[in-house]
Amino acid sequence: MMLLGTQRINGQGHLEIGGCDVTGLARQFGTPLYIVDEELLRQNCRRYAQAYKRLYPEGETEIAFAGKAFLTAAMCAIADQEDLSLDVASAGEIHTALKAGYPMSRLMFHGNNKSVAELELALEVKLGRIVADNLPELDLLDQITRQRSQSCDVLLRLTPGIDPHTHKLIRTGQADTKFGLNIKDGSAMAGVKKALAAPLINLKGIHCHVGSQLLDTEAHEQAAAIMVAFMKEVLDDTGYAVEQLNMGGGLGIRYIESHQPPAIEDFAERIITAIRTELTRFGLNPPRIIQEPGRSIVGEAGTTLYTIGTIKEVSITEAPGKRVYLAVDGGMSDNPRPALYEAIYTPLVANKANEPADWEVTIAGKHCETDTLIKDARIAKAVAGDLLAVLSTGAYNYSMASNYNRFPTPAAVLVGGGKAEVIARRDTLDDLVANDVIPDRLSAARVGG
């Protein structure tokens, strides 16, 4: 059985997280419910920070939480307390950090299509660094900074040309991608020269991101070698010494028992070793090394709790001739990843966690789609009203949730020390219509009386 963080099976045979029996959480907060294990979350933050600092004493290190994975005001507060920088990718994420009181100087602003309004907002709040994605963005940023007579610090997002071993829809470091300036075709060097020529753009360094949910370090190590070699090219061609090297995120987590990603400390050691080897080879001074983990900080710290509803058996042509569909009270609106990426998860009947998982079912949501959450899952024998916990849902579940079929977004609670606190309230039905507008002409009496 795969139990993560503070998860354990208590004396009643129930799943417990952060000292909280999940059956009590269901009664108090309802389902579907996002549960976040605060102890595991903070532990992962500290492991990253400590590993990089210990392994790279010759230079500065910085850990930036990738907000796209899970961003609420409470998450901003935790990142601040743990001395993490924050990677944001929209005006909405900037606004969330701002309202949470997070220091704007520690934000890094990503995105492949930043609007004028977003760039102006970044300058207005004195956001720490803008990660420029392309040449048109540099032109736009040059124009805006001149108009405002305001400088800004910039990293350039580069494409190292690495094709990592992960799902095709979450690869980002290959040549054929919407992200970044290609190193091999000269776009990256053109970006460096454009940034250096702009009077109010302060080029601070370079950035790359090769992909997500990576279960080895091969792609990161290759990217490190390419990025440091490019640092040498930049120095030789322009005289500019890159100050900051941001290697992005991408470390995978355990969604199922067979997933065995490197430990955070091992991941850090391999990346830093690869960077240090190339710095020595080229005789370069050590830059600040930045890592942007998201999933590997919050992914395993999250669990989604559902109530089981309809259970039905259907005949199928292949062996064993039948399939059992078990429906829960959520689905693709609170976890779109199975539909988007064919993502797989580990389920557990939370109120029968000590019973054998020998019943094969396909777990489905309740939306007007096929909406399969987990195909051919093995769980304890369950009935309607039992609770189903889906593990490792801390990353890209809450943040990608929708109101499809006008489903309310679930609540999220932070658990630890036997206490649970709401960090995102559940939508009400009135919330779902709060932005709806009926034009006056549609409010008039029906045509024809």
- Asked if the model's pLDDT at residue 407 lies above 80, the reply is yes
* pLDDT band, very low/low/confident/very high, at 168 (cuts 50, 70, 90): very low
User: 238 and 350, same structural domain?
Assistant: no
- Tens digits of residue pLDDT in 409-441: 999 999 999 999 999 999 999 999 999 999 998
Torsion angle of alpha carbons 35, 39, 42, 45, nearest 10°? Answer: -90
What percent of the chain has pLDDT above 70?
A: 96
**pLDDT of 157:** 97
**pLDDT of 177:** 80
- Tens digits of residue pLDDT in 12-58: 999 999 999 999 999 999 999 999 999 999 999 999 999 999 999 99
**pLDDT of 171:** 40
Residue 78 lies in a domain: no
Query: Taking residues 136-140, what's their average pLDDT?
Result: 98
By C-alpha distance, which of 54, 40, 45 is closest to 4?
Answer: 40
Q: Which of 45, 152, 208, 368 is catalytic?
A: 368
What percent of the chain has pLDDT above 90?
A: 92
* pLDDT band, very low/low/confident/very high, at 447 (cuts 50, 70, 90): low
- Asked if the model's pLDDT at residue 167 lies above 70, the reply is no
- Tens digits of residue pLDDT in 107-130: 999 999 999 999 999 999 999 999
Domain hosting residue 131, numbered range: 110-293
User: 199 and 135, same structural domain?
Assistant: yes
- Tens digits of residue pLDDT in 355-366: 999 999 999 999
**pLDDT of 172:** 44
Rounded Cα distance, 157 and 209, in Å: 8
Query: Taking residues 55-74, what's their average pLDDT?
Result: 98
For the sheet containing 8-9, what is the strand order?
Answer: 8-9, 15-17, 20-21
**CATH number of 276's domain:** 3.20.20.10
For residue 405, how many other CB atoms are within 10 A of its CB? 14
Query: Taking residues 62-75, what's their average pLDDT?
Result: 98
User: 228 and 122, same structural domain?
Assistant: yes
Residue 280 lies in a domain: yes
**pLDDT of 176:** 74
- Tens digits of residue pLDDT in 181-212: 999 999 999 999 999 999 999 999 999 999 99
- Asked if the model's pLDDT at residue 88 lies above 70, the reply is yes
- Asked if the model's pLDDT at residue 137 lies above 90, the reply is yes
User: 273 and 150, same structural domain?
Assistant: yes
By C-alpha distance, which of 297, 264, 401, 339 is closest to 78?
Answer: 297
Domain boundary among 258, 293, 328: 293
User: In the annotation, is 20 catalytic?
Assistant: no
Q: Which two tokens stand for residue 8?
A: 């354990």
Domain boundary among 293, 318, 348: 293
Residue 37: enclosing H or E segment and its boundaries? strand 33-37
**pLDDT of 444:** 75
Domain boundary among 293, 312, 347: 293
- Asked if the model's pLDDT at residue 180 lies above 80, the reply is yes
Rounded Cα distance, 179 and 158, in Å: 8
For residue 11, how many other CB atoms are within 10 A of its CB? 8
What is the pTM for the complete model shown?
Answer: 0.94
| Residue pair 302/34 in contact by the 8 Å Cβ criterion | yes
User: 248 and 128, same structural domain?
Assistant: yes
* pLDDT band, very low/low/confident/very high, at 175 (cuts 50, 70, 90): low
User: 342 and 200, same structural domain?
Assistant: no
Query: Between the CA of residue 160 and those of 112, 164, 202, 239, 348, what are the distances in Å?
Result: 16, 11, 22, 21, 40
Give me the chain's average pLDDT, please: 95
- Asked if the model's pLDDT at residue 353 lies above 70, the reply is yes
Q: Who contacts 215 (Cβ-Cβ below 8 Å, separation ≥6)? A: 165, 252, 259, 260, 261, 262
**CATH number of 333's domain:** 2.40.37.10
Q: How many domains, in total, are found in the chain?
A: 2
Torsion angle of alpha carbons 200, 205, 206, 207, nearest 10°? Answer: -100
**pLDDT of 165:** 43
Q: Which amino acid is at 276?
A: R
Query: Taking residues 51-80, what's their average pLDDT?
Result: 98
The CA radius of gyration of the chain, in Å to the nearest whole number, is 24
- Asked if the model's pLDDT at residue 173 lies above 60, the reply is no
* pLDDT band, very low/low/confident/very high, at 162 (cuts 50, 70, 90): confident
